[in-house]
Structure 1
């Protein structure tokens, strides 16, 4: 009698330089696409969040049910988290009236709570330990919180603290460079550094997106929301087709 052997495979990509470059493009797309629907199309943050929530639930279901790593489904899910994160953060910060500081604090608590529950439930929050649909669901919930937090944090620094979009982009770039230096020169947990980098790529994308599409009077370039979103998506596809991404290795 034969026993079937089902190999456990990773459905998230290996973390390389190209991964982080595409991630920054994806977070910028999330900002411009979220603004396109909620602001340029004048749908509002709540309705936009509902629309993007439906899209997110659709693509994350495809991702979790996929049997192997599919680069297009994975990055479509990442973009879905960034667009939904953009409108949720804007709704939390502005429509609920709790401000950027309040929104950022609330989202940070939710992110830490997600990581805590994931760690206690599965045993690890490392992407090299995502071996089940349960772990993958925690992964995507955590990513959604991190993308939403990043949006609120970017708006807080650029607007409330008055640094502006360009200066904020330089600040968050410096934070990411510092994380990379720590990664290569110290013994600090790579899992901790991964999530730190994942969180801070989002405000970088948020302020870059705002710099590209906000009015000149607000410190932006006033480029077309649709035009810049289409351009960024095209650049993402070029990178995806040009650089083959492999599934992350699972640790034993």
Structure 2
């Protein structure tokens, strides 16, 4: 019986295609969300393709990456992070389209996306019984995972823009606010018994607006509070950093719940 249980556990672990949550995971997540901001702006603004066309282009990449991720038989770090980058770039242009082109504003966009994110998590919980990343062992759970991430990335863009612009905190002020909130979550993680799953998703969501304001800080004009760096140069540096992390560190799949 013990041998059978070990075999079943090993088989289940082989189906896990999301990374274990480590310091490198969070570092790469923040860099990926920053890249989503600079990369999304590079295509929609610097190339003058506009938010709608850019969203369509990034959506194709996102859908292709998600399909490849779901069809994969095991965890592939490069594919996983490519999919994360795809969610954050399409999230950037989609949020900008909703906030600016549709005229609902940052607060309206943030409220709408927060509602969609909450609905996604609610349906996932009701359907699968848990929203823990350690339970993502089926295609259905993985689909919920990527839909939820998509909403969180889009929400983060709108929330970051709202904090920096409408709330008047600026890019550096917004970065300090979201950085402080993430530090608080880390403290709560180690000092309380609050659900680790809840804290994970709270941190996951907050890394996106942090990346949004940092990305804007890098490429927005100096007169607007940014550093006025080239969006393409900033994106290339961020991609290089992610590639370095992929090759320099060992990436393992998250353990499943048994």
Under TM normalisation by the shorter chain, which class is it? over 0.9
- CA offsets per residue over residues 179-200 of structure 1, 9 Å max, x none? 0000011000000000000000
- Name the CA distance, whole Å, in 1 between partners of 2:136 and 2:72: 14
What's the counterpart of residue 40 of structure 1?
46
- Name the CA distance, whole Å, in 2 between partners of 1:139 and 1:73: 15
Quick one: which of 124, 148, 151 aligns to 2:157?
151
What TM-score do the two structures reach when normalised by structure 2? 0.95
Secondary structure of the residue aligned to 1:7 is: helix
Tell me how far 1:167 sits from its aligned partner: 1.1
Residue 251 (1) aligns with residue 257 (2) = yes
Tell me how far 1:7 sits from its aligned partner: 1.9
- Name the CA distance, whole Å, in 2 between partners of 1:150 and 1:52: 17
- Name the CA distance, whole Å, in 2 between partners of 1:44 and 1:111: 25
Structure 1 segments of 4+ aligned residues over 6 angstroms from their partners: none
What's the counterpart of residue 81 of structure 1?
87
What's the counterpart of residue 28 of structure 2?
22
- Name the CA distance, whole Å, in 2 between partners of 1:19 and 1:166: 23
Q: Where does structure 1 lack aligned partners over 5 or more consecutive residues?
A: none
What's the counterpart of residue 183 of structure 1?
189
Secondary structure of the residue aligned to 2:11 is: coil
- CA offsets per residue over residues 58-95 of structure 1, 9 Å max, x none? 11111000000000000000000000000010011001
What TM-score do the two structures reach when normalised by structure 1? 0.97
Tell me how far 1:217 sits from its aligned partner: 1.1
Q: Where does structure 2 lack aligned partners over 5 or more consecutive residues?
A: 1-7
Aligned pairs for 1:103-252 (under 5 A) are 103-252=109-258
- Name the CA distance, whole Å, in 2 between partners of 1:44 and 1:143: 23
- Name the CA distance, whole Å, in 1 between partners of 2:240 and 2:177: 27
- Name the CA distance, whole Å, in 2 between partners of 1:123 and 1:196: 19
- Name the CA distance, whole Å, in 1 between partners of 2:143 and 2:129: 14
Instruction: Please give the root-mean-square deviation of Cα atoms over the aligned residues, in Å.
Output: 1.1
Tell me how far 1:240 sits from its aligned partner: 1.4
Tell me how far 1:215 sits from its aligned partner: 0.8
Secondary structure of the residue aligned to 2:253 is: coil
Q: How many residue pairs are counted as aligned between the two chains?
A: 249
